[in-house]
Amino acid sequence: MHQSYKHRGARSRGGIGGVILCLIVIGFGGFLVFQLIGWFRTTNENAAITQATTLGVATLSAPVVLDGSASITGIDGGLAGVVYRRGSAESAEYNAVLNLPTLIVNTSYEVWMVKDGLADVQSAGILETRADGTFAKVFSVSNPIEYPNVVIMVEPNDGVSTPSGNIVAQGRFTDIDD
């Protein structure tokens, strides 16, 4: 009589638990590698910054970003409009939209950027009349931090490049520390 034996094979120990353990070990290893790469990168960047600063090669400072608006108040104390400003300490672009009375013949509204204490003024140009009756102007100014004040004056159309002093509205930018 011939007896046959069934081979049952080696039984897997752990089953799904072993797979999960393997994935955890691999995941933890990947996490450690990622952390080490980040640590080395940060350490090298900080060393380079320290060396450049020590040698006087680089001065690190955050650029001044100008992004704000000035409410423009009329001589009657009411809101006449707004001037938006966006740019840097070196140069900024402005967008003025104002609701002002209709002008008499041979006059214009001119925008003036003014330093504190009236130390200096810079013309930003003549406001243009829009179809809806408001006045607008897009303009740029160099060194805008030095000119925080916006003044609107009625100017005669006589070609003179100095302000007349006939102020009809004004405002001030407050998007930077004074």
Mean pLDDT of the chain: 77
Is residue 28 helix, strand or coil?
helix
Which of these, 64, 78, 68, 91, lies nearest to 174 by C-alpha position? 68
Choose the final residue of a domain: 31, 46, 61.
61
Residues 48 and 90 reside in one and the same domain: no
Question: pLDDT-derived band of residue 25, with 50, 70 and 90 as boundaries?
Answer: low
The CATH number assigned to the domain holding 112 equals: 2.60.40.200
Which of these, 129, 128, 143, 153, lies nearest to 85 by C-alpha position? 143
Residue-wise pLDDT tens digits, 58-79: 444 556 677 889 999 999 999 9
Q: How many domains is the chain built from?
A: 2
Residue 3 lies inside a defined structural domain of this protein: no
Residue 6 lies inside a defined structural domain of this protein: no
CB 124 within 8 A of CB 112: yes
The letter for the amino acid at 81 is G
Residues 54 and 71 reside in one and the same domain: no
Residue-wise pLDDT tens digits, 86-130: 988 888 999 999 999 999 899 999 999 999 887 789 999 999 999
Give how far Cα 60 sits from Cα of 14, 53, 57, 89, 149, Å: 57, 8, 10, 16, 30
Residues 98 and 137 reside in one and the same domain: yes
Residue-wise pLDDT tens digits, 118-147: 778 999 999 999 999 999 999 998 888 899
Residue 79 lies inside a defined structural domain of this protein: yes
CB 153 within 8 A of CB 168: yes
Residue 168 lies inside a defined structural domain of this protein: yes
Residue 48 lies inside a defined structural domain of this protein: yes
Residues contacting 65, CB < 8 A, separation 6+: 88
- pLDDT at residue 60, rounded to an integer: 47
Joined together, the tokens standing for residue 167 give 């102020």
Is residue 50 helix, strand or coil?
helix
Residue 178 lies inside a defined structural domain of this protein: no
Examine the pLDDT at 2 and tell me if it is beyond 60: no
**What percent of the chain is helix, strand and coil (3-state, nearest 5)?**
25, 35, 40
Q: Which range of residues forms the domain containing residue 133?
A: 65-172
Residue 22 lies inside a defined structural domain of this protein: yes
